[in-house]
Amino acid sequence: MFRLSQQLNDELAFNGKVYPLDLSFDNVLVIFDVLNDDSVDDLEKTYVCLNRLTGLSLEELLKIFDPETAFKTFKSIFDSCIKIRNRAKGQKYDLLGNPLPEVETDEDDEEPLYSIEHDAEYIYAAFMQVYRIDLIEVQGQLHWKKFNALLAGLPDNTKMSEIMRIRAWKPSKYDSEVERGRMRKLKKLFALPTTDRKED
C-alpha cells in the first residue's frame, strides 16, 4: 500500500545482509515482460527478475539463493512491492479521513481498463499533459508505486481517462439506440487485445 507517512523501503534483508532494490517503473515493466515470456521457464524467470531487482549477477544469486528460496524471495518482493491490488468500489473512511479496512476484489472477475504496454502512448501523453513528466526522461528514477499513484490520479480531461471510460461503459436502459451503437463502435476501436497482460 502507498503511504505518505512512510518512506518507500526498497531493500531486501536476507541472512544478515541488506540488498537495495531497483523498483523504478521501467525496471518493473521489464520484469513484467520477463514474467510474460513463455519461452523462459519459471526458475530462470525468477533468477532473471532477482537480477533486475538487486543488480546481483546470476553467479552471486545462485550462491545466495537456492531455487526454493529464490522463488519465495521473489514472490515476497512481488507481492509487497510490485503487485497492484484492485480494491472494492466505495472505499469508506473514518471521521479522521483514514480509510477503513478495504476489501479486495477478485482480480480475475474484472476486465482491465488499461494496459501499460498497449496504452503506452496515451499514458505517456497524459503524464506530459497533467504532470509535465516525460516518462522516457525519468526512467530509472520514478518509483513504481509513485508511477501507479500518478496513473490512478489522472483527471478526466486526458485521452487515457476517456479511453478507460469507454472500456468501462455498459449499456443502460436510458441510452438511445444511436448512443449504444456509437459506444459499441468506440469500445471495439479501443478494445485491449485479448492476450494483453494484466499489470494493474
Give the number of other Cβ atoms within 10 Å of residue 87's Cβ: 13
The pLDDT > 90 percentage for the chain reads 71
Whether residue 104 contacts residue 79, with contact meaning beta carbons closer than 8 Å, is answered with no
Does pTM top 0.85 for this prediction? Answer: no
Are 110 and 135 contacting, i.e. CB atoms less than 8 angstroms apart? no
Residues 17-68 have pLDDT tens digits of 999 999 999 999 999 999 999 999 999 999 999 999 999 999 999 999 999 9
* Backbone angles phi and psi of 14, in degrees to 5: -150, 125
pLDDT at position 198: 43
Q: What is the pLDDT of residues 72-123, one digit of tens each?
A: 999 999 999 998 765 444 444 444 444 555 544 444 456 788 999 999 999 9
Q: At what angle do helices 159-168 and 120-131 cross, to 10 degrees?
A: 130
Q: Which residue has the higher pLDDT, 86 or 178?
A: 178
- Residue 167: which of 150, 183, 148 has the closest Cα? 183
- Residues 63-78: tens digit of each pLDDT: 999 999 999 999 999 9
Looking at per-residue confidence, does 3 or 144 come out higher?
144
Max CA pair span of the chain: 66
